Amino acid sequence: MSTVTIISVSAVGLSHMRALGLRSPWRERLNLRLQYIGRDALHPADWEPIIAAIQGADILLLDLMGAPKDLSSALVQQITGFTGPVVVLNGDSMASRALTRLGGFSMAGMAKESETGEPPSLDAIQRMMAMMEKVGTLLPVGKLRDMRNYLWLVRYWQFANPENCEQMLRLLARDYLGQGDLPKPEPPQTLEQVAIYDPVAHRMYPDLRRYRAEVPAQPHRPNVAVLFRNTTYPVDLFPIAGRLCQRLQSVCNVVPIAISRAVGNDLERLRDLLAADGQPQVDLIINLLAFRLGQGPMGGDPEGAIALLRALNVPVLHPFVLTKRSVADWQADDQGAQVGEFLVSIFLPELDGCIETYPIGAMQPNGLGFEEATLIEERVERLIARVQRWIALRRKPNAEKRVAIITYDYPPGEGNVGCGAFLDSFASLAAILRHLADNGYTVTPWDVTELKERFVADGQINTPQWKQPHRTDDYVVIEPAVYQALTRDCPQWNTIRTFWGEAPGQIMREGAGVRIPGIRNGNIFLGVQPSRGAGEQHVQQYHDTRLPPHHQYVAFYRWLEEVFRADAIIHLGTHGTLEFLPGKEKAVSGACFPDYLIGNAPHFYVYYSGNPTEAMIAKRRTHATIISHLPPPFIRSDLYGDLSELRALMSDYVQAGNLNPEQQASILDRLTDRVRRLGWTWEGIEALEQTLYEYESSLIPGRLHCFGQRYTDEEVREFLIQTLRTADGERPSLFELLCRDRRLDWRAIWESPERHAEVLAQLEDDARAWVQEYVIEGQRFSRREQEWQQVYVAACAIRDGLQQCDELGGLVHALSGGYLPAGMGGDLFRSPDILPTGRNMVQFDPRRVPTDAALARGAAIAEATLEHYRQTHGRYPRQTAVILWGLETAKTQGETIGQILAYLGVRRVCRSVWETRLEIIPLAELKRPRVDVTIQMCGFFRDMFPNLIELLQEAISLVAAQDEDDDHNPVRCHTRRLYNELRAQGASHNDAEDLATARLFGPQNTLYGAGVDQLIKSQAWQNPAELAACYTDSLRYVYTRRRYGEAMPHLLNAQLTHVELISQVRSSRDYEMTDLDHYYEFYGGLACSVKAATGRQAHLMVADTTEGRIRAEPLQRAIQRGLRTRLLNPRWLDAMLKHDYHGAQQIAKRLEHMVGLAATTEAVDPALFEAANRCLIADETLRKRIEQNNPYALLEVVDRLLEAHHRKYWQPSDDDLARLQALRGQLEDRLEGIGVPQDAGSA
């Protein structure tokens, strides 16, 4: 009896084969060895029977698409010794497909790459295969027959059903296993590439008219298209599609469309079905297809599909089926979806503008030893309810739509309302209200002053801290009976009650009920998102996804759904807390609080375009359409005060050298004295010139952004000058071209700009004139040289992108239930192609990270950082620690990944986005020892780049396995030591081997932060040991090949004990190290944890890549620049204080960050606190401006300076201390409404 081995990811194909193998004639003719490799949890221990099935087989059928990478490699290796026919039915690379050999036919020739190094295109492969089948059918002999048979075998498997599998076995047995007595096989039964197909009746219709003739539409019901795959590979989804269509038919007219691919003529066919005679025939699309519409793993035409979706202008929802895990596994898994499912069912569809990516099905046993898909009933109910609400949003007149707009108040109190990143929230809210009114919504426009009065003065905030007699008592109060009715279906009620006690709890309690802060304006509700906790606890709970929401939080969102009956919910600004409530990372269930509380209303989230990492959490956990907004325009910092005086003294020094050399010594004394008074170390004239140039040319925000506000022509011009200064890989630098015209060496100028200040100033003037004349004014540009044209075309494209930003239009279009195209998020300076904003923001393709450019920059970062350490300490470090952020990775496309690989001495070799491998850089080529790396990642990186976690794990294991001496390979040395320690502690070989190579630590799955920032905000800590303990407790979760977020505190401590160098990439002009709390949370938390573990301060470095060149610098220097170019800079202060209320918020935040960095890194010079006191408090004019802008923020500034004194980061004079203490008392009296004049603190 012949043996046929089939190793496949297709449960349906294997199930049919098992059923056939149990019946005659196949029971007597063939020994079928069937191995399923489509499950997520396939560990090396499970491989033995799979690999053993190859031995002794007469013919091998292999299907590797989506199989575990290591298993695929092992199987491919086994095949090298297999001599029989091999048919690769599907593979994840051309290399695996090339293993096919059937009779006289081999696929090896088709796998040859083109001269560009890229594999053949999808169209080329399909043309070749069509020709092969045609010729083989006409002349079914020899190699031609084998070519045709191969294609038939693939198609049998793609369309696996009992008949196709029967014919598949007949073909194999008759043509290749000597069973010629069998009848000739019939061609595969297939469906058209695109067709209306009833998945219940299994009937195909040529067009919509004929379908409607047999399945009439119900008048006045909406039309919903359901797109599903027309094959049964790898899972038969026809039953799922059929049951979903049946459920939908109770509320809408369903148009079921089966699709193989939607490119070329097939895309036109889809267009004909969805838009007959050019008119859209549907109100909404449910797309069940994996990958992108019009593009699969081998390529396609996604842009053509997007053009179709734009023309249809309907929402495209993308529920999906978990084809690699059971319902029970999904329910128990906080991760929600594994890497492969995340990529093909969540990320890739998002690039098409698809929304609502959650599972409606998963796998269950089918009785034949394999699995089949089944619906997740609760998710289907959510889908149908949300479909109805989306269609209602499309159909309801604007005047009748109820919209809830939610802003934030974090930490709770009067000083922090509307705290969105880079956003003037009150001005943005006013602009939205005006635009809604202009578009027919029932709302009265309010200006910034009225909004501030209604929220802050009237106390429509969370937990008011100040008792003021004029406050309104016009609150929404939810009484107990109403709250009970609103939460009757809460899936986690016992969890809430266990933590927060019986309703209504103590937070925002009003009698026996709870208060909902917010204002009703016509049909618009302006609400303040509830806090996460009470009192000092709230900051510790901001990102804590283990903590359930309290009663008032739950009441707020349930009230929006059931009482206010919101047709849509808008969250305004980056960012709130709903998306961080307990639940799965992605692929959420109804038991996840973000899903439960957002309810069924369409959800829109106004988000900063420069932060796609946190935006994706909101998109995937709260079903949000993310509407991106611009960053503020950036301006030069320039010099001021002491810095201007230093520049003047520098000029005097240079001039004296030419005219009066004897005066230089006295000028030098004044220079060194002034430098030391600033808290700087005197390093010579050249170093001072470099620092002053660096400060002067630094870019700082020129204002906050108002949602919907475009850049002015002047702002566009200045942005173009800043952007075109550097080359981007596709075009040269404008400044370089100007230098060529003037016969100047741009490279020399670029590498030492402080030495060429006058030339640079002239170049900037020339660039400004060029941009103004040819780009802004649009005069004809006649130069035809290719590089000049590249710059001109790029400049015009950026100009157009900025001018086409229509954020308010995008929001209103989304509120109309229209299709909002996807737009990438990222750093505007690095990636101007994120323009225009106002689109549905998505993340950069994680499969393309790291890019080649990012790898090169990362390697340069590593070498510059190591060289700085070597020059300081006389040797290379043996172990470093690196902060790995999702935000930085998204903006730079992987500079830190490149840095880590370079430390290790590993390079990446890419064949395609689906196929990557690593290789060791020989020590002779590396020319230094390898450096061990402890990687501290945030939760956003874990969620956005799960594929890179695997890449880093592979890199560490690869280096640890090298046969090199300990001096040159500390990774191997440390791994061996850890392995021996773990074995001595009783760990098994497999566990010890896995944990010994563990270098990647982060928060527990579903958690995101390190918690240090929450302690700093609360001021509820006593000593740095508490901060270190908080950090290590939060980041003690290890990520290895066998463990995903498992607590290993001893393992983290074992790594930290050997850390000598800490570094982080500053990748964006958006934030200096002093502008973002996450810097002291992660970098600072790591620094104080290393000190706690070792008893010494590590070498603290920052790699600044914001200007296109690598600058490795000590942390102290980065902190100095951040504070002196922004917080202490009159130009930045003026820019912020133009924004009523929010400007002073920004100032107060920087004081918090100063304290946080001082507490965790000891790198904040006391002179900086003194400078802050002198600038913000002692300067009475500025202090009064801050108080007028936001007196609550001024009180925060005072409190932080007093805290810095209390913690001994700064010792003010007695007069300064007395002024601060008196000012605090006067501000408290004023805020309590006692009547102290507004210019409190004049004493």
Owner of token pair 């225009």? 836
DSSP one-letter code for 1108? S
Cα–Cα distance measured from residue 1165 to residue 224, given in angstroms and rounded to the nearest whole number: 63
Residue 269 CB neighbours (<10 A) = 18
Q: Is the dihedral of CA 817, 823, 826, 832 positive or negative?
A: negative
Which residues share a beta bridge with 1046? 1038
Q: Which pLDDT value is given to residue 125?
A: 56
Residue 531 DSSP symbol:
P
End-to-end CA distance of the chain: 103
Kindly state the DSSP code that residue 1233 receives in the 8-state scheme: T
Single-letter residue type at 873: H
For residues 904 and 931, give the distance between their C-alpha atoms in angstroms, rounded to a whole number: 5
Largest CA distance in the chain: 111
Structure tokens at 477: 């109060």
Question: How far is it, in rounded angstroms, from Cα 422 to Cα 97?
Answer: 50
- Amino acid letter at 356? E
State both tokens at 1050: 């001893």
Residue with tokens 């009976």: 481
CB 451 within 8 A of CB 595: no
Question: How far from 38 is each of 12, 46, 529, CA to CA, in Å?
Answer: 11, 12, 43
Q: Could you tell me the mean pLDDT of each successive run of 10 residues in the chain, 1243 residues long?
A: 95 95 95 91 82 94 88 86 92 80 83 47 60 70 88 95 97 96 95 94 93 93 96 95 96 95 79 86 96 78 91 97 93 91 94 97 90 96 98 97 96 90 97 98 97 91 77 83 94 91 92 94 97 58 68 97 97 95 95 97 97 95 98 96 92 86 89 90 91 94 97 97 90 96 93 90 96 96 95 97 96 98 94 96 90 94 97 97 94 94 93 77 97 96 91 96 96 96 94 95 91 91 95 96 92 96 93 95 97 96 90 95 97 97 97 98 96 97 97 97 97 96 94 62 43
- How far, in Å, CA of 806 to CA of 823, rounded? 13
Residue 1144 neighbours by CB under 8 Å, 6+ apart: 1136, 1137, 1186, 1189, 1190, 1193, 1194
pLDDT of residue 542: 42
Cα(1197)–Cα(1173) distance, rounded to whole angstroms?
9
The conformational region for residue 367 under phi > 0 = left, psi -120 to 50 = alpha, else beta, is left
Which residues have C-beta within 8 Å of that of residue 1149, sequence separation ≥ 6?
1075, 1077
Nearest CA to 572 out of 397, 388, 375, 432 is that of 432
Beta bridge partners of 362: 374
Are the C-beta atoms of 894 and 845 separated by less than 8 Å?
no
- How far apart are the C-alpha atoms of 717 and 767, rounded to whole Å? 10
User: According to the model, what pLDDT value does residue 546 have?
Assistant: 75
SS3 assignment, position 408: coil
CA distances from 682 to 199, 667, 677, 1113 (A): 78, 14, 11, 16
Residue 958 half-sphere exposure toward CB, CA atoms < 13 A:
19
Can you give the pLDDT at residue 471? Answer: 64
Give the CA-trace dihedral at 322, 323, 327, 331, to 10 degrees.
-40
Q: How far apart are alpha carbons 336 and 359 in whole angstroms?
A: 9
Q: How far apart are CA 859 and CA 1213, in angstroms?
A: 47
H-run or E-run covering 620: helix 612-622
> Is residue 209 within 8 Å of residue 133, measured between CB atoms?
no
User: Would you put residue 1005 in left (φ > 0), alpha (ψ -120 to 50) or beta?
Assistant: beta
Looking at residue 834, its pLDDT comes to 95
Cβ neighbours of residue 29 closer than 8 Å, sequence gap 6 or more: 1, 2, 173, 179
The whole-angstrom separation of Cα 267 and Cα 193 is 10
Q: How many whole angstroms separate alpha carbon 511 and alpha carbon 518? A: 18
